[in-house]
Amino acid sequence: MKLAVALLRRKELSEKLARIGPIKQEQLFTLHVKRISVTDAVDEVTAHAPKCTLADVTAEYDFYSKQLRLIDAMIQQANWTTEIEGSDNLCEDYVAPAA
């Protein structure tokens, strides 16, 4: 894998986790039921059920978290083992010229 591809994948995984993270709230996955008596023999029942389970969201989050950790480790390994030539002055701070 090219380093550029790994960096893009790391960014993509971070964004996926940022979107999935807030979903992992148990209040979104509870069944909400409202029951209203219309007459003695008839009740009106309204239910709001989640479209997915907390386990589904947690499994997806865990999958992407693991992928992010693995790709980040690969990038860190490349960082520690790669030297870039010709970059000596890129880490210097600006110095204003004397007037």
Residue 94 falls inside a structural domain: no
Domain count, the chain: 1
Residue 91 within a domain: no
What's the whole-model pTM score?
0.63
Q: Which pLDDT tens digits describe the chain residue by residue (99 residues)?
A: 889 999 999 999 999 999 888 876 666 767 777 878 877 788 888 887 777 777 888 899 999 999 999 999 999 999 999 887 876 777 788 888 987
Q: What is the torsional sign of CA 53, 54, 59, 65?
A: positive
pLDDT of residue 7: 93
- Residue 25 sits in which domain range? 3-81
Tokens of 50: 């989640």
Helices (H), the chain: 3-20, 54-81
pLDDT of residue 25: 67
Query: Residue 21's Cα: distance from chain center in Å?
Result: 6
pLDDT at residue 17, as a whole number:
92
Interacting residues of 56 by C-beta distance below 8 A, sequence separation 6+: none
